[in-house]
């Protein structure tokens, strides 16, 4: 998977689909979806899902920004700012 695909990524949003299933979407500054992934992990957000999301973001060339990046958004999804790894070093 090319990190160029997510060069304009600014947000990661994680939605609970029910039955402990989760979906990660990568969004740009305008909140347009750049890509989405079904997460291969089930369970509660903390402690099961959150570390897995960080791993997936790294695999697609993104990094979370901030000391405590995850916040619930207006839809109840978990949302965090991200930047391409090349911009964080």
**42, pLDDT greater than 90:** no
- HSE-CB of 82 using CA atoms within 13 angstroms: 32
* Reported confidence tier of residue 2, pLDDT bands at 50, 70, 90: very low
Report the pLDDT averaged over residues 53-62.
94
Question: Model's pTM, two decimal places?
Answer: 0.87
Distance CA 46, CA 3 (A): 27
Mean pLDDT of 22-37: 96
What six digits make up the tokens of 31? Answer: 């909140």
What mean pLDDT is predicted for residues 53-65? 94
Domain boundaries, the chain: 3-88
Q: Which residue has the tokens 């997510």?
A: 6
Quick one: average pLDDT of 34-55? 90
What is the band of 1 on the pLDDT scale with cuts at 50, 70, 90?
very low
């Amino acid at each position: 998977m090319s990190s160029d695909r997510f060069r304009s990524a600014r947000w990661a949003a994680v939605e609970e689909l029910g039955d402990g299933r989760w979906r990660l979407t990568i969004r740009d500054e305008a909140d347009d979806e750049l890509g989405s992934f079904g997460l291969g992990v089930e369970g509660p957000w903390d402690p099961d899902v959150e570390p897995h999301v960080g791993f997936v973001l790294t695999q697609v060339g993104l990094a979370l920004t901030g000391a405590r990046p995850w916040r619930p958004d207006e839809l109840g999804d978990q949302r965090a700012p991200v930047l391409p790894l090349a911009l964080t070093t």
